[in-house]
Amino acid sequence: MDRKVTYRLYPTPRQQAVMTETLRLHPQLYNVALQQRREAWPRQHLSLGFSAQCRSLTAFRREDETCAP
């Protein structure tokens, strides 16, 4: 039997802003990753997988100051 548990969140205005920003950025990140995979083969004949994309995203976060927590 499957059960569903629902929790009600009562975020502070700051937490709500962070959650909204996360929800805004997630589809953009997905679309960029998809575009990167689609362009990798025609340009470089490179099969780009999940692990490679995770490594490149981690490297990008280290370089970009706006991504720092």
What does each of the 69 residues of the chain score in pLDDT, given as a tens digit? 889 999 999 999 999 999 999 999 899 888 888 888 898 888 888 888 889 888 888 887 788 766 655
User: In terms of residue numbers, what domain contains 27?
Assistant: 23-67
User: 11 in a domain, yes or no?
Assistant: no
Instruction: Check residue 11 and give its pLDDT.
Output: 96
Instruction: Check residue 68 and give its pLDDT.
Output: 55
Counted domains in the chain: 1
Radius of gyration of the chain (CA): 17
Instruction: Check residue 15 and give its pLDDT.
Output: 96
User: 3 in a domain, yes or no?
Assistant: no
- Residue 56: count of CB within 10 angstroms of its CB: 13
User: 5 in a domain, yes or no?
Assistant: no
User: 13 in a domain, yes or no?
Assistant: no
User: 51 in a domain, yes or no?
Assistant: yes
Q: Is the whole-model pTM more than 0.85?
A: no
Round to whole Å and give the CA distance between 67 and 37. 22
